[in-house]
Amino acid sequence: MKCYVVDAFTKEMFKGNPAAVCVLDSWISDELMQRIAMENNLSETAFTVKEGDAYRLRWFTPGGEIDLCGHATLATAYVLAHFVAPEEQVFRFQTMSGELVVSRDGERLSMDFPAYEIKEIPVTDAMTAVIGARPVAAYMGRDLVCILPAEDDVRQAKPDMEAMKSLDGLLLHITAQGTDYDCVSRSFAPKLNVAEDPVCGSGHCHIVPIWAKALGKDHIKAYQASKRGGELYCKLDGSRVTLAGYACLYSIAELHVGI
């Protein structure tokens, strides 16, 4: 089985968010997919199988399967576009979050994702204790999103990963209005055995609607301020979010998993 590792949301190797991609002829067991994800030890490993005119796509973290992953979808489309079906311009994926469409956008790949339904919730002392700075607002969808007063609060945060597990939400995203970008964010997922996600696409399906409303604009240029860093070119269109970005190949490996 071939396993590709692609750095997503970047033009440069060693930046963005690395995802492993396994393109299968037929499905393997959930247990084996989980074990491969644990062995890869990246934030996500994607598995895809061609089914008719579309691809079935699933994402596994080291801690379990997840319902939506942006960077691993981008990485999967990159692999298909360069190594499997270079003649195709549009890739349709059937997923736990419904159909996701990825299309070529010049050198970038553009993904059409559902926006999460989010609601504003009270800021708590527990959030402040975990983050080390008091949010000015908080929102809940699948994940918890905390708006911080300033960009430097996001960049310099050293959150308490163990205490973070007690907060509601699957992931925690901290975000603030940016100087060179519309927003700057970071994403953490200790509940999935991922401390900090270098660039989180599904997180921006929470973040983009918040900043689109706050800034009164549909197009959002976002920066994920992790150590690796990454750029996302986003657009809010009703209940959908377009996430566009670049990707580059890091490696191609042959997995000896006995199938």
Active site residues: 44
Q: Of 186, 131, 179, 178, which Cα lies nearest the Cα of 159? A: 131
Question: Measured in whole angstroms, how far is the alpha carbon of residue 127 from the centre of its chain?
Answer: 22
* Contact yes or no for 160/129 (Cβ under 8 A): yes
| Length reported for the chain | 259
Token pair in block for residue 211: 């900043």
Token pair in block for residue 152: 């430097």
Tell me how far apart the alpha carbons of residues 233 and 88 are, in angstroms, rounded to a whole number.
22
Residue recorded with tokens 């970071």? 186
Handedness of CA 140, 188, 154, 16 (dihedral sign): negative
* Contact yes or no for 230/17 (Cβ under 8 A): yes
DSSP notation for 89-108 = SEEEEEETTEEEEEEEETTE
Handedness of CA 230, 9, 45, 205 (dihedral sign): positive
